[in-house]
Amino acid sequence: MMIITSQQLTAFLLGCLLVFSCNANRFESSNTNTPQPENHSETASIQKPIQPATAMRNTNQPAQAPAEPVSQPVSDNNALPTAVSDNQNQRQAKQTALQFPWLTTPANEADALQNRIAPPAGYERIPMPAGSFAGYLRSLPLKPGKPPVLLFDGSPKYNQSAHAAVFNIDPGTEDLQQCADAVMRLRAEYLWATGQYNSIHFNFTSGHPAQYSQWRQGYRPVISGNKVSWQKQASAQNSVSYASFRQYLKQVFTYAGTYSLSKELQPVPNLQNIASGDVFIKGGMPGHVVLVMDVAQNAEGKKVFLLAQSYMPAQEIHLLINPDNPDLSPWYSAQFTGDLVTPEWTFAPNSLKRFE
């Protein structure tokens, strides 16, 4: 008879829990009063206080109490030192707005989404203002050809039949940049590239705000009971780089998700008003979100759109195929009836939302 030790039984049970993957999506804390980390491991058992960006989630360690404050906490409502205006930041960033700081070499303009994916016959892309979020999304570079979608650890995603192309943007090195995180990443990258730093803000699942303008001044989120305060823990000089910006996003990815993001967005009641930068989102447990990357229109005013997503585990952002209409794929018709069917999720028609 084979004897199973308690350690082996524990490992087996944990493995079973980890089987819940993309189709179940991430679990979000049912207690929205106390900040909890977004559950990227699907074990739904690890609770950890918000720490500075240098101390990210480690599911192999038990939860620890917040570090001793190094300065007087700053409450959510207290005013911080005056930030530089976004107009000034935009002037400084104007020359680099379409550069992608995560790339080690300049992007090839021929690989931009708008140059690689042509609209269907009879349709034309809807003109967008220069410097807009829609224009930024269209300019994002794709990897050449149709490579496999890779996970954060470099291994291939299990399902390789859902994508038409892969965006040339890293998924990070931790299991953090999942579905909602990818949407927040692209939104924040656009605002950062165009110098709109004061507009970069998201909410944790608890409802507490995470404002990048505070981060840039050296403040970091620290939990105290069911409150989040911002404490001065770094110099402003060391908080304005792109590397520091990515550390801010790690904090957002850890403590925000579809539940919190869905509450920040505004509903778009009429599908005919769909625009680039909108999202189809189902917030909660489980939840998922896909981003509208581009929109085209024909002479009759009918619209088609492109969708992109990340998923679980954290993976490269990819352009989705249209499983219901291979002839139109990767475009989707805005004239669909019933639910919107994507390769790995089905959305209700009233799930379209957008950033303010």
9 in any annotated domain: no
> Mean of the pLDDT values across residues 294-315?
98
Q: Is residue 46 part of a domain?
A: no
Query: Distance of CA 1 to CAs 4, 11, 182, Å?
Result: 10, 20, 49
pLDDT for the residue 13: 39
For residue 118, what is the DSSP state?
P
| 60-69, 191-200, 216-225: range with lowest mean pLDDT | 60-69
Residues 203-215 pLDDT 10s: 998 899 999 999 9
Does 344 have pLDDT greater than 50?
A: yes
- pLDDT category of residue 223 using cuts at 50, 70 and 90: confident
Q: Is residue 267 part of a domain?
A: yes
pTM, two decimal places: 0.77
| Residue 283, pLDDT above cutoff 60 | yes
Q: How far apart are CA 55 and CA 250, in angstroms?
A: 10
E strand residue ranges, 54-184: 123-125, 163-166
Give the count of domains, the chain: 1
Assess if residue 91 is contained within a domain. Answer: yes
Q: What is the pLDDT of residue 36?
A: 54
For CA atoms 309, 315, 321, 324, the dihedral sign is: negative
- Domain range enclosing 215: 86-354
pLDDT at position 87 is 54
In a domain, 57, yes or no: no
Question: Which tens digits make up the pLDDT trace of 26-63?
Answer: 434 434 444 555 544 333 322 333 333 333 333 333 33
Mean pLDDT of the chain: 80
Residue 59 in domain: no
Q: Which residue has the higher pLDDT, 54 or 15?
A: 15
76, part of any domain: no
Residue 42 lies in a domain: no
